[in-house]
Amino acid sequence: MRIEARNLSFAYSESSLALNDVSLEVPSGSASALIGPNGSGKSTLLRVISGVLRPQSGAVFLDGDPIARRSTRDLARHLAMVEQERAMGFDFLVREVVALGRIPHRARFAGQTQADVQTIRHAMELADVCALANRSIHAISGGERQRVYLALALAQEPAVLLLDEPTTHLDLRHQTEFMSIVRQQATEGMTVLIAIHDLTVAAQVADRMALMGDGQMIVAGTPGDVLTAENIESTFGVRAIVGIHPELGSTYVLPKLAGRREA
C-alpha cells in the first residue's frame, strides 16, 4: 500500500505549528526512514498518518484513498503502529497482548478462529517472542516488550507499518534484531515508515529517507541524497563525516565530537 501525505499542517496549540505544509510519499513495499532532530515533527507526522491526530489542513492517502473516510477499525486492518513507549495498564500476558492485534479483524463476540491462532503464532515467531508467551507484559525487559508490541502490530496483518523510534531504549543486540525483522517485512512487501534517531542504522534499514526540521520537510530521497554533511550540519547543527561503508555499501555518519585535547 502506498502512503501519500499531502500538504499536512498540524498544531497542538495556536502558538506554533508542529507540521508546516509537509508532504511525503512512501512507495508500496518499501522502507522509508524519517529523520530529524528532537521536536522536528517526526512523531507528529507519524501520528497524523496513523489517523490518531487529525491534520488542520492537508490529507493522508493510502493507495489514493483518504484515510479520513475510513473508520478507526477499517484503518486498523491496514495500518499498524509501534510506539516508542507504551505504558500497559494491568497485568496482561504476552500472548494476550499479541492477540489484541486481531480485534479489527474479528466480530465483537466471535471467539478465536483457527486462522486467528495461526496468525498470532506466526506474528510471535517473526518477532521472536514465543518463549515469552506466558510471561506478564510487566515482567519482561524493555527490549522484549518492544518486540511484543511489534508482534501485536504484525498480528494485525497490516499492509502499512509505522514505527516511532521503536529502539530508543534497546541495547545494540536488541536494536539490531528488531531492525532486521522490520527490514525483512519491507523486503516481503510491507510498506514501512520508521522514525529513527540513529542515522547509520536508518541508512541500513531504509530504501528512502526524509529529513525533517522545525516542522518542515527539508529533503527526501535515497539515503545517499539525504545524508550529506551539509544537510546534517544545517538541521542537526553537528559536523559529521559521511561515507559509504566499503563492505556494507550503505551510508554511514560519524559525528565529530568536541572537547578532546588535541593530540
Partner 1 sequence: MTVRSHRLGLWVIWSLLVLLVASVVAGIMVGPVMIPARTVIASLFDVQDDSISAIHRIIVLQIRLPRVLLGLLVGSALAVSGAAMQGVFGNPLASPYILGIASGATAGAAVAILFASGSLLFLPMGAFIGASVAALAVFRLARGSDGRTSVLTLILAGVAIGALFSALTSFLLFLSSGGEKLSDVLFWIMGGLGRASWTSVAVLAPIVVAGISAVLYFTRDLNALALGEEGAQHVGVNPESLYRWLLVLTTLLTASAVAMAGTIGFIGLVVPHVMRLLLGPDHRRLIPASALVGGCFLIWSDMAARTVLAPAELPVGVITAFFGAPFFLYLLKTRGASL
Binding site for partner 1 (CB under 8 A): 12, 47, 50-52, 71-77, 79-81, 83, 86-93, 96-97, 100-101, 103-104, 108, 134, 138, 152-153, 156
- In whole angstroms, give the CA distance from residue 40 to residue 197: 12
Nearest to partner 1 of 105, 216 (CB atom): 105
Nearest to partner 1 of 4, 83 (CB atom): 83
Q: How far is the CB of 145 from partner 1 (least distance, A)?
A: 12
Nearest to partner 1 of 191, 251 (CB atom): 191
- In whole angstroms, give the CA distance from residue 37 to residue 197: 8
Q: How far is the CB of 133 from partner 1 (least distance, A)?
A: 11
Closest listed residue to residue 2, CA positions, set 67, 58, 53, 54: 67
DSSP string covering 46-102, please?
HHHHTTSS--SEEEEEETTEEGGGS-HHHHHHHEEEE-S-----S--BHHHHHHGGG
Nearest to partner 1 of 90, 260 (CB atom): 90
Q: How far is the CB of 173 from partner 1 (least distance, A)?
A: 26
Nearest to partner 1 of 112, 234 (CB atom): 112
Amino acid sitting at position 84? Q
Burial 98-135 (b: 16+ CB within 10 A, else e): bbebbebbeeeeeeeeeebeebbbebbebbebeebbee
Q: How far is the CB of 63 from partner 1 (least distance, A)?
A: 19
Closest listed residue to residue 82, CA positions, set 158, 23, 18, 10: 158
Q: How far is the CB of 246 from partner 1 (least distance, A)?
A: 40
The answer for residues whose C-beta is within 8 angstroms of residue 39's C-beta and 6 or more apart is: none
Q: How far is the CB of 251 from partner 1 (least distance, A)?
A: 31
Nearest to partner 1 of 14, 262 (CB atom): 14
The answer for residues whose C-beta is within 8 angstroms of residue 222's C-beta and 6 or more apart is: 207, 208, 209
